[in-house]
């Protein structure tokens, strides 16, 4: 369970109706098989020891007694299994029959959770046989053990910090106020559901959405296990639709109409982080909250991960979803800028265009904002400012794009001004240090700011979120603007936004320029070119942006520690980067992220577009002089 990962399984064996002895045998096999694969929480379907479709046979003493006997058998024969197991059966108590989930681990019965809501409509007549369970927990004798019985039961790990499991049964999930809500608010971060949901046209999609949304609403993992093959098909068909979701994301799902297993690695630490982040998710600290906690033991071990972590967490892998995401982000950026123009009453934008990705995106957003506001595109002053590192390719793209979009192109060669500045401060032009580079960046910003004053306009910022995270911006140079439209967009997504615009704008001339921009290496172009080609490649200096965006997402959005990020990154980028390379750039990321906060603390206004942002107003509130010592200590242990 290192790093908070725990493997869970929803397993549906093929059973025989009203044959508890046979069903116990297949359940034992299933439990042992899943435990062998590392599952620590194993869920079987509702009433699986008898079958859900026994109908009036549920009223027979023989079936009830046999189910109890076979439960004892299952518990004894899986005593060496290191897992918390949930299994369904009918249970008689005080002359009433209950549809329950029996919960056990290491031969110890941890509790019985009764079904709270019993359907009584066309397909199901459970109220004919069963009694609704109560919230209140009582203690009952079973097989020589005193066992808690009731709905307000949470199974709390005695070993794994934060692991708390709640249980509800089938219909409980479908009601307006399901028991899982109270269980989650009382601290349960994994909810299991033992179900027997029949299949009808369209029901699977509804079920999938219900499970996913419940896990999102409750900031939990939800393990749904349903009956399947072996149940009676007299009037209904059960498909065995098993689903495991975590905070709105479906992690695993079985193929319907066959007994199967859904298995997934749940991230308990991530769920705990999400709950900390959402302050409206109220888990009151009360000594008496009406819930009983039943402890259980598990051996501590490393979970062998099967879970896949997307190497591009900011970019949807599905083409249609990616196009929708790009359109939405462009709209957010453009509407934000449009509002700024409506508020100021200005009609001019000043934007430095270099022929690179970031300034290209900023120009496209500005054009969209002007179109939305009904402003003349000639009010967009696209300023190209060639200097020592400018290549003909990037300058040519900046010129062609500005003209194709109908903006006013202005060229200001800043070489003479920068040389004068070097002379003023006594800097040798042959010294290509940071002063050489930043002098150009600040001169460009001065030109843009003064031109905005002259033209009564706004300077539109071009820097993206990845650059801000790494501090890859010149303080009071390209770091500064009057509205930073790209401040919430990571570098890996900038590329897709420009590509989406190229594919959808309907202007072949614009598209052709954008495609060449996409093929141009990312560079600040502050050092002289070599043989007319870009000599300064950003990713050679600070590392691959696909790695840094990955680190940024899992650090800020998920709150992962460096060793956990390293572990999943090695899995995500296997075959692309070796472990040594990943660790090298992870160390660079943390060093730069902490050292460069002072630049983020005074960012210009700009729209937040996703779940991660670094603006001191939109998302990240961090002291500029925070120590990274605790994070560095973990990095040092990695090598």
Catalytic residues: 46, 115, 170
Three-state helix/strand/coil letters over 399-462: HHHHHHCCCEEEECCCHHHHHHHHHHHCCCCCCCCHHHHHHHHHHHHHHHHHHHHHHCCEEEEC
Residues with Cβ within 8 Å of 256's Cβ and at least 6 positions away in sequence, in order, are 199, 204, 239, 240, 241
Neighbours of 529 (CB within 10 A): 18
Ramachandran angles phi, psi of 90, nearest 5°:
-85, 140
Contact call for residues 179 and 169 (beta carbons, < 8 A): no
Q: What stretches of 53-206 adopt beta strand conformation (E)?
A: 84-93, 96-105, 108-114, 138-142, 145-149, 153-157, 164-169, 190-195
The whole-angstrom distance between residue 30's C-alpha and the CA centroid of its chain comes to: 31
Contact call for residues 32 and 294 (beta carbons, < 8 A): no
Residue 428 CB burial class (10 angstroms; 0-12, 13-18, ≥19): exposed
DSSP, collapsed to helix, strand or coil, labels residue 227 as: coil
Q: What stretches of 119-268 adopt beta strand conformation (E)?
A: 138-142, 145-149, 153-157, 164-169, 190-195, 221-226, 243-246, 249-253, 261-267
If residue 585 lies in a helix (H) or strand (E), which one and from where to where?
helix 579-595
Contact call for residues 109 and 145 (beta carbons, < 8 A): yes
DSSP, collapsed to helix, strand or coil, labels residue 611 as: coil
Contact call for residues 237 and 198 (beta carbons, < 8 A): yes
Residues with Cβ within 8 Å of 220's Cβ and at least 6 positions away in sequence, in order, are 180, 184, 188, 189, 190, 191, 214, 246, 247, 271
């Amino acid at each position: 369970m290192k790093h908070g990962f725990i493997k869970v399984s929803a397993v549906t064996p093929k059973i025989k109706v009203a044959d508890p002895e046979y069903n116990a045998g297949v359940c034992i096999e299933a439990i042992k098989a899943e435990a062998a694969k590392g599952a620590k929480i194993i869920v079987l379907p509702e009433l699986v020891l008898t079958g859900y479709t026994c109908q009036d046979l549920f009223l027979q003493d023989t079936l009830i007694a046999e189910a109890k006997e076979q439960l004892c058998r299952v518990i004894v024969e899986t005593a060496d299994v290191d897992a918390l197991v949930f299994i369904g059966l009918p249970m008689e108590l005080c002359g009433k029959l209950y549809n329950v989930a029996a919960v056990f681990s290491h031969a110890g019965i941890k509790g019985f959770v009764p079904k709270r809501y019993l359907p009584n409509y066309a397909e199901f007549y459970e109220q004919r046989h069963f009694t609704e369970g109560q919230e209140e927990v009582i203690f009952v004798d079973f097989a020589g053990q005193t066992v808690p019985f009731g709905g307000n039961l949470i199974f709390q790990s005695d070993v794994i910090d934060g692991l708390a499991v709640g249980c509800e049964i089938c219909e409980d999930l479908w009601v307006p106020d399901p028991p899982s809500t109270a269980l989650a608010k009382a601290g349960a971060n994994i909810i299991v559901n033992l179900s027997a949901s029949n299949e009808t046209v369209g029901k699977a999609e509804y079920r999938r959405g219900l499970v996913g949304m419940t896990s999102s609403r409750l900031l939990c993992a939800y393990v749904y296990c349903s009956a399947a093959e072996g149940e009676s098909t007299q009037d209904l068909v059960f498909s065995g639709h098993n689903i495991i979701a975590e905070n709105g994301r479906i992690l695993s799902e079985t193929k319907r109409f066959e007994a199967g297993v859904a298995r997934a690695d749940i991230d308990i630490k991530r769920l705990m982080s999400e709950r900390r982040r959402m302050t409206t998710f109220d888990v009151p600290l009360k000594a008496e909250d009406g819930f009983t906690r039943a402890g259980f033991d598990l051996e501590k071990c490393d979970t062998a991960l099967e879970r896949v972590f997307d190497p591009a967490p900011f970019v949807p892998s599905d083409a249609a979803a990616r196009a929708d995401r790009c359109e939405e982000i462009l709209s957010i950026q453009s509407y934000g800028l449009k509002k700024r123009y409506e508020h100021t009453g200005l009609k001019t934008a000043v934007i430095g265009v270099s022929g690179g990705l970031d300034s290209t995106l900023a120009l496209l957003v500005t054009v969209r904002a002007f179109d939305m506001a009904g402003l003349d595109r000639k009010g967009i002053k696209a300023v190209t400012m060639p200097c020592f590192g400018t290549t003909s390719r990037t300058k040519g793209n900046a010129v062609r794009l500005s003209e194709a979009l109908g903006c006013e192109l202005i060229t200001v060669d800043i070489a003479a001004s920068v040389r004068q500045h070097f002379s003023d401060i006594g800097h040798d032009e042959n010294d290509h240090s940071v002063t050489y580079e930043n002098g150009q960046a600040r001169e460009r910003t001065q030109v843009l700011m003064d031109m905005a004053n002259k033209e009564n306009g706004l300077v539109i910022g071009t820097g993206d979120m990845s650059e801000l995270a790494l501090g890859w911006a010149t303080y009071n140079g390209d770091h500064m603007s009057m509205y930073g439209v790209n401040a919430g967009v990571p570098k890996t997504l900038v590329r897709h936004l420009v590509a989406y615009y190229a594919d959808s704008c309907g202007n072949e001339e614009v598209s052709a320029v954008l495609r060449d921009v996409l093929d141009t290496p990312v560079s600040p172009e502050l050092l002289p070119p070599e043989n007319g080609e870009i000599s300064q490649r950003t990713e050679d200096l600070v590392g691959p942006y696909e790695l840094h965006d990955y680190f940024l997402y899992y650090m800020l959005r998920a709150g992962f520690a460096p060793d956990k990020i390293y572990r999943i990154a090695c899995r995500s980028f296997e075959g692309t980067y070796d472990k040594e390379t990943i660790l090298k750039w992870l160390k660079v990321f943390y060093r730069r992220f902490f050292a460069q906060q002072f630049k983020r603390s005074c960012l210009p206004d700009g729209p937040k577009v996703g779940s991660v942002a670094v603006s001191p107003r939109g998302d990240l509130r961090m002291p500029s002089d925070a120590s990274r010592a605790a994070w560095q200590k973990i990095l040092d242990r990695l090598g």
